[in-house]
Chains A and B, each alone.
Chain A
Amino acid sequence: MSITREKLVDAYTTMVKIRTFEEHAAQLFAEGKIPGFVHLYVGEEAVAAGVCATLRDSDYITSTHRGHGHLISKGGDVKRMMAELFGKRTGYCKGKGGSMHIADMTLGIMGANGIVGGGPPLAAGAGFACKYLGRDDVAVCFFGDGAANQGTTHEAMNLASCWKLPVVFVNENNRYGISCSVDRATCVTDIADKAAAFDMPAVSVDGNDLMAVYEAASEAVERARRGAGPTLIECKTYRQRGHFEGDPAGYRSPEEVAEWKAKDPIPRLEKKLLEMGVLAEDRIREIRAGVLAEVEEAVRFAEESPLPDPSEVTEDVYA
């Protein structure tokens, strides 16, 4: 599996952008500037960046309640994202959706989703549309270990396999559904094992290793594009923060958290890129500074944007 140096640098930049965005969101939430809930993607960046590096704009993704990383990796505009988190009119949903409803159909982002297991049927539908219309685009469904226990996920995987739909199911097994560990809530804790029930190939990879994710996703996406059907990729990873901001996460031991922080995907990739000579220290500083400026600009944009007018409350609603 080959990857260009340019693509590697892009993926690294994306991962740094996700981390920076999330760290700002955490701080702003703590300051009371962000209403509602935010679920942060810190620690899982290699999954979204690795998978989306194999996609094009016309491909689709469905996301989850922990969606910022997916949206940024698929090219989402951080200004409009941050404005949405702030509930401002310039946000992706005009400030009415918040973190869990951001979508951008021009980029194939079918939306973050507050419903656990809400994404898989949407991805199967998008995959069906691609096949029906004769397009070689694919749909990628990000879902968590909690969603792996939902009926909707199994129904979507079954139909995707029956109809050989161009769907890649990407399971982010971060070991916890809210506060419940996968060992307590799931009988078969290796999500990849479940694909056998749908005669679907599956692979389990280190979700904190960008290249491991990229290699698996490249093969799965290529397979989907040539009409060979869906694939399940289980990415074993970890969310470094609580389920939502404000969650003290007392259900995890400090040792466990420390162990996973030692496997943080960003320093891991950075070290490799330095060793390979793909990036030098000064270029890394430049990338980090550029990303920081972009996110700070997004925060300014959000802060300065107007709130929706109460008169707009019934606009853009379906029912």
Chain B
Amino acid sequence: MALVGIIANPASGKDIRRLVAFGSVFDNQEKVRIVRRVLLGLAAMGMERVCYMPDTYHIVERALRRIQVPLEVFPADFRARGEPSDSTEAARVMEALGTGCVVTLGGDGTNRVVAKGSCAVPVLPISTGTNNVFPAMIEATVAGLAAALVARGLVPEEEATFRSTQLEVLRDGEPADLALVDAVVCDDVFLGSRAVWDIAKVRQIVLNRAAPGSIGFSSIGGLLHAVAPDAPEGLYLELGPGGRPVTAPVAPGLIETVGVTTLRVLGVGDRVEVRGAPAVVALDGEREVEVTGRERVSIRLSPHGPRVVDVERTMAAAARRGVLAPRRRGGRPCPATPNVPTS
């Protein structure tokens, strides 16, 4: 029986960028409401089983308190510790259970730790974080429908999803971590409050997605050379004085002009060496990897990122196939409804 997973991160949307920039606190009660709509969408599309990540706020349990859905909803079998590793563990468990699609609620950081647990199960990322490039701002009801369409095979995976690239962080050549959007080398020694907001400390930027309309480091690259989410290429930028000035929205409400001294398009397998120590590499906006100088750290563009559900594409495929609008047996298709004037 088809299964959908839900990983709702209670910690997303609360980091220091509410203070140093103008990010909104994404409160957990809103995540409850989003999950509620996802569940209703799943049920409407005929899903019967849902596995969720247990969390300290009990997001999914709270969502179920206000609705009655014909779904068997059960937690992934592990104890939540209130750590990012919960999302990784949940993704691992869901893959082992044969989940057909995992809906995530979080930002780039949340999806990064989910990808650390599984890249095999298609992920449908709903944005509830800060600098969101990987997840999309989509209506949860539609996300629920789309997740069910994919999990139940009503829309073939190849029509609904695309394979993302990712950035692998290598320590002495061995994979140590990953990023789904950006890996940024900064002059810092502490992981501290994790976020990166002081652009003057940023030396090197590696991107596997870059769009002029996005936010965060991805926008800096995107304003020079766009890289589509499903394109097998990346970008490498070096920042410094005397470079080409690029004015970009680096965080919510924070627009900075940076000097780009080097811009290079990366192909799959290309590697960038992290220069200078001590330093910290921020992955998808969070300081994660300390570089002490005792080992060689590099970043490689990999083609083996997560499979991502594109909701627009999924719903378009469902429309083409008439999944939600089946033709009446022996009858003609419904005529297009004319526009009705509202006044």
Contact = CB atoms under 8 A, between A and B. Distances in A.
A211 B193 contact: yes
Contacts of A183: 56, 58
A209 interface: yes
Contact of A231 (B14, B19, B292): B19
B5 interface: no
A258 to B, nearest CB: 12
A307 interface: no
Contacts of B191: 209, 211-212
Given A215-B192, A215-B193, A196 B27 contact: yes
Contacts of B16: 203, 205, 215-216, 219
B192 A190 contact: no
Contacts of B19: 201-203, 216, 219-220, 223, 231
Looking at chain B's contact residues, is the secondary structure mostly helix, strand, loop, or mixed?
loop
Contacts of A219: 16, 19-20
Contacts of B15: 203-204
A275 interface: yes
Contacts of A220: 19
Contact of A188 (B28, B56, B192, B193): B28
Interface string B77-88: 000011000000
Contacts of B223: none
Given A1-B198, A196-B27, A211 B11 contact: no
A50 B151 CA distance: 47
Interface in B168-200: 189-194, 198
Contact of B27 (A188, A223, A276): A188
Residue among B11, B189, B190 with max Cβ neighbours from chain A (10 Å):
B190
B193 A190 contact: no
Interface string A259-277: 1000000000000100110
Contact of B193 (A3, A189, A196, A203): A203
B29 A188 contact: yes
A276 B14 CA distance: 29
A23 interface: no
B232 interface: no
B231 interface: no
Contact of B192 (A192, A214, A234, A236): A214
Contacts of B278: 276
The 7 closest A-B pairs by CB, nearest first: A211-B192, A193-B27, A204-B14, A211-B190, A215-B193, A212-B193, A215-B192
Interface of A: 1, 3, 183, 188-190, 192-193, 195-196, 201-205, 209, 211-212, 214-216, 219-220, 223, 231, 234, 236, 259, 272, 275-276
5 contacts: A189-B56, A196-B27, A201-B18, A201-B19, A203-B15
